[in-house]
A and B are shown apart, each in its own frame.
Chain A
Amino acid sequence: MATATEKHVENLDEATVRFCGDSGDGMQLAGTQFTNTSALAGNDVATFPDFPAEIRAPRGTKAGVSGFQIHFSSKDIYTPGDTVDALVAMNPAALITNLDDLRPGGILIVNTDNFDKKGLEQAGYEGNPLEDPELEEKYKVHQMDMTKLTRSAVDGLGLSVKEADRCKNFFAMGLVFWLYDRSLDPTLRFIDAKFGKKPEIAQANVAALKAGYHYGDTVEGWNTQYLVEKAKLPPGRYRNMMGNQALAWGLVTSAKLSHKRLFLGAYPITPASDILHELAKHKHFDVLTFQAEDEIAAVTSTIGAAFAGEMAVTASSGPGIALKGEGLGLAVITELPMIVINVQRGGPSTGLPTKTEQSDLLQAMYGRNGECPMPVIAASSPSDCFDAIQEAWRIAVEYMTPVFFLTDGYIANGSEPWRIPDVSELNKVRVKHPDPMPDSNDEGAPKFMPYARDEKLARPWAVPGTPTLEHRIGGLEKQDGSGNVSYDPANHEHMIHTRAAKIAGIANGIPEQAVDGPDSGDLLVVSWGGPYGACATAVHRAQAKGLKVSHAHLRYLNPFPRNLAELLGRFKKVLVPEINCGQLQMILRAEFLIDAIPYNRVQGKPFAVHELLEKIEECVAS
């Protein structure tokens, strides 16, 4: 069968590939390997892993489909792509749930194993879609029994059938590597590192990978390879970075540069758990990870660590943040610095635990009892987590306040190239702790004032163990200055206003809002968090079409940058795309009395660029 055919190479600017299969098929691994290889080859990359909510849904069902999408390019890219150029479907359920995203004319690689009566029924197919002539008309279809091909590739290595079948993701990888002319070396190194202790498994994976690669090279019907050149990224050394990892590294960096121990109090919850996992690996950076008994203990232990004078962090997702609410009030009234990370996911309640959403903004802003202001900062992309979290720590320390840090499932699990910084170019946060008071036994000697305030309205961070600064803090209202419990009505009002003024004053210490595009025009797209990439791409395309559209992406959500009101006023219209029902848009309306236009999708997935572009065009036209 295998005959050498004439092959040719086609150059592309960019491509998007998606691997999908059963959750046990190793699709995340395939995707990650392809991403790393593409990044190492010099492409800009953006990824979108899509996990099923069930750890092990029944095999072959739609509920168990796991996908991983990679967009790689010779240009700057900001999203994992709307439509897919090449789709690898390992079973009927994967095909039925993903085929709609494959662009017409795209490449469809199907593992035909499992396309039997049972497999088709499980996926909800009435007949066999592979026998539908329309499929061949619409896509470049390649069918093969990967299971059988993999078995014969690993034959003689002494593997059980089950073990052999587990290698088929490597076959699929090899094939796609061939298709996009990628080197096998990084994956071979990976196999060696990961399976080195089980040589027969390592050998089998290598054999499957190579078999897939050679299959593309030799089998008839495969005659085009696609080449995506290196991207022109700013010079430097790069690595591929996922959001949660960038966040964890940013935390380690902040702690190290501010000479603090890092304490993380956390309770496992998707998609935040990887922050705990990652930090637990870096104990030699003086990182204390505490897996608490629940989120309430996670946040309160974090308050204890902040009181202790260390860099205190808690990380969770919406339902866990809900539990932390009361503790956050204590953190606000005790005016202790700490970071509260919310990796948002679909809600309400348990909602869509493995899918992305941005619907906890109002929770972060207002989800506590009493007048309880907290600064809110949001990351815009996986690598931005590294910088933004350091900024959160700076604000926490300079203003003596807990800081809310928002990311989402899409940022947390997505990845992109990260330019490795020079440690010397990073911002160091100077932490001040008051020195002991001059020793004096006089009655009238000055006493330590735990709620004395500096020019930023921050109180001193006196740590237990320092002689002469003994003081008591807590949840009851405090007399400003002395910190004594006070029920004085005027003092309470004063403290409410003081805490609010302190947070509002942060605006003086953050950059003015930047705009991508002219600073006036027909439409300003205002975004925050994960939709950054989709909004940037859609706005660039609109600008290329000559539309007077600009983009402002907010990192600071409370307080807003001081020039925001003025900026919004310079555009005829303001569009606010969000993966929620209009939370930022509501705040902008309330704060600035502008008729901001909402654009909302709440489907557990990021925006499609083309839909955003349509909305932008519609706004400009009307």
Chain B
Amino acid sequence: MPLPVLTPNDFASDQDVRWCPGCGDYSILAQMKKVMPTLGLPREKIVFISGIGCSSRFPYYMNTYGMHSIHGRAPAVATGLKTCRPDLQVWVITGDGDGLSIGGNHLMHAIRRNMDLNIVLFNNRIYGLTKGQYSPTSPAGKKTKSTPMGSIDNPLHPLSIAIGAEATFVARSIDTNIKHLAETLKRAADHRGTAFVEVYQNCNVFNDGAWSYAKDRNTKAETTLELEHGKPLIFGKDRDKGVRLNGLEPEVVALGGGIAEDDLLFHDERSPEPSLAYLLSRMRYEDGFPEPIGVFRAVEKPKYDDMINDQIEEATKMHGIGDLEKLYNAGETWEVE
């Protein structure tokens, strides 16, 4: 039987969406609903698991299976689910506080196991739900309610963390760049293994404009760089700048005047070595670099959910299907008359 044709609307639940007007979360929700019908999966095969935070209300708004769990633990909940049910497509929705602070441990371990999960981290560089404390991605010096004199923590960079944990798929997108966002989510869904996507998300109430440099129509061409596999790293409104390697360091160069495209760094998302992806994850606006968006890394590796189930199959081949009588009676037993 052919699958009924679904539309984005079929993925909307009957619940009122309760984010602040203007929140970047709306856009991510809209793009997710748009991507869903393109996955060729019926609604009942899709599950959204989230932690706690504004972003983590997400599952309530999707007409799929879902669980709004507890702070930071969504990757672990999803792990139990996916281990038992490899047939389901499981999405993890998390925030910068949720995923990197309280849930940092689980995030790291879910990624290194390469469980087939799609993890989307909404990065607004602030704690939204608890009303505006600094988060692990807030820049040093950030003044918030909990840091009136400025934060003295060094920020974490989600993609560097993910790559450090041996992620097989890492990507970045921006809430307002809707076409790019939809494409990125689609690619994450298609990846076999853990796909980790960071989305720059605006919290217009507690951290408005945190990403304005990357979103602003006038500056984004200079401050971001769209990655394309096999292509040189070129950016700028007139596509006149590039990034090349100077030893082990990236540097921004102007094209022309002796520097040609071939001198630039070429993007290779399939490189077995994560070094290039890591280097890209360290290019930051405040250091004078354009920030890459798109897919940093996409490689195939064995998946945990396959392997754990393969072991069961293998054990069954070795010992036959578990038989209780056999189990009880193996080894030393004795008879009482």
Contacts and interface: CB of A to CB of B under 8 A. Distances in A.
Contacts of A484: 15
A474 B332 contact: no
A348 interface: no
B187 interface: no
A567 interface: no
A249 B327 contact: yes
B312 interface: yes
Nearest to B11: A470
B44 A470 contact: yes
B85 A265 contact: no
Nearest to B18: A485
B73 A297 contact: yes
Interface string A261-291: 1010100000000000000001111111010
Contacts of B333: 237-239, 420
A301 interface: yes
B15 A235 contact: no
A6 interface: no
B330 to A, nearest CB: 9
B249 interface: no
B23 interface: no
Category for how many chain B residues contact A: 35 or more
Nearest to A232: B336
Nearest to A447: B14
A286 B328 contact: no
Contacts of A237: 329, 333-336
> Which of A285, A302, A421 has the largest number of chain B CB atoms within 10 A?
A285
B69 interface: yes
Nearest to A426: B324
Contacts of B331: 239
Contacts of A36: 332
B106 A249 contact: no
Given A284-B312, A288-B308, A465-B88, A252 B324 contact: yes
Given A290-B79, A305-B84, A300 B336 contact: no
B150 interface: no
Given A305-B80, A307-B77, A39 B334 contact: yes
A40 B332 contact: yes
Nearest to A290: B83
B267 interface: no
A296 interface: yes
Given A290-B79, A464-B44, A474 B327 contact: no
A447 to B, nearest CB: 8
A42 B43 CA distance: 60
B101 interface: no
Interface in B45-72: 45, 47-49, 52, 59-60, 62-71
Interface string B81-93: 1111101100000
B187 to A, nearest CB: 24
Nearest to B52: A475
A303 B77 contact: yes
Contact of B324 (A253, A307, A470): A253
B76 interface: yes
A327 interface: yes
Contact of A301 (B44, B60, B76): B76
A475 B335 CA distance: 52
Interface in A103-157: none
Given A312-B80, A476-B68, A238 B336 contact: yes
A288 B81 CA distance: 12
A471 interface: yes
Nearest to B81: A304
Contacts of A233: 336
Contacts of B327: 249, 252, 282, 285
A294 to B, nearest CB: 6
B321 interface: yes
B69 A303 contact: yes
Contact of B67 (A301, A305, A334, A467): A334
B88 A464 contact: yes
Contacts of A288: 83-84, 308-309, 312
B44 A474 contact: no
B322 A282 contact: yes
Contacts of B312: 283-284, 286-288
B42 interface: yes
Nearest to B66: A472
B311 interface: yes
B88 A235 contact: no
B325 interface: yes
B315 interface: yes
A468 interface: yes
A474 B59 contact: yes
B275 interface: no
Given A263-B80, A465-B45, A296 B73 contact: yes
Contacts of B324: 252-253, 256, 423
A interface residue count range (under 10 / 10 to 19 / 20 to 34 / 35 or more): 35 or more
Nearest to A260: B84
B109 interface: yes
A328 B318 CA distance: 37
A122 to B, nearest CB: 38
A330 interface: yes
Interface in B287-337: 308-309, 311-312, 314-316, 318-322, 324-325, 327-329, 331-337
A464 B85 contact: yes
B159 interface: no
Contacts of A365: none
B67 A300 contact: no
A597 interface: no
A5 interface: no
Query: Residue among B44, B316, B331 with the most chain A CB within 10 A?
Result: B44
A297 B333 CA distance: 38
Contacts of B88: 308, 464-465
Given A42-B334, A292-B76, A304-B49, A475 B68 contact: yes
Nearest to A37: B332
A107 to B, nearest CB: 27
B308 A40 contact: no
User: Which residue among B105, B324, B325, B335 has the maximum number of chain A CB atoms within 10 Å of its CB?
Assistant: B324
Nearest to A312: B80
B146 interface: no
A188 interface: no
B81 A307 contact: yes
A44 to B, nearest CB: 10
Contacts of A580: none
Contacts of B328: 239, 249, 420-421
A465 B334 contact: no
Interface string A467-491: 1111111111000000011000000
A292 to B, nearest CB: 7
Which of A237, A288, A467, A474 has the largest count of B CB atoms less than 10 A from its CB? Answer: A474
B78 interface: yes
B67 A473 contact: yes
A302 B60 CA distance: 21
From B48, B52, B65, residue with most partner A Cβ within 10 Å? B65
B332 A240 contact: yes
Contact of B79 (A252, A301, A306, A475): A301
B287 to A, nearest CB: 33
Contacts of B219: none
B13 interface: yes
Contacts of A186: 332
B5 to A, nearest CB: 14
A305 B83 contact: yes
A1 to B, nearest CB: 37
Given A287-B312, A466-B44, A474-B67, 11 more contacts: A230-B336, A239-B331, A265-B80, A288-B83, A301-B76, A308-B84, A330-B69, A420-B333, A464-B85, A465-B85, A467-B42
16 contacts: A40-B332, A233-B336, A236-B335, A288-B84, A288-B309, A297-B105, A304-B49, A304-B80, A304-B82, A305-B84, A307-B77, A308-B80, A308-B85, A327-B70, A423-B324, A466-B44
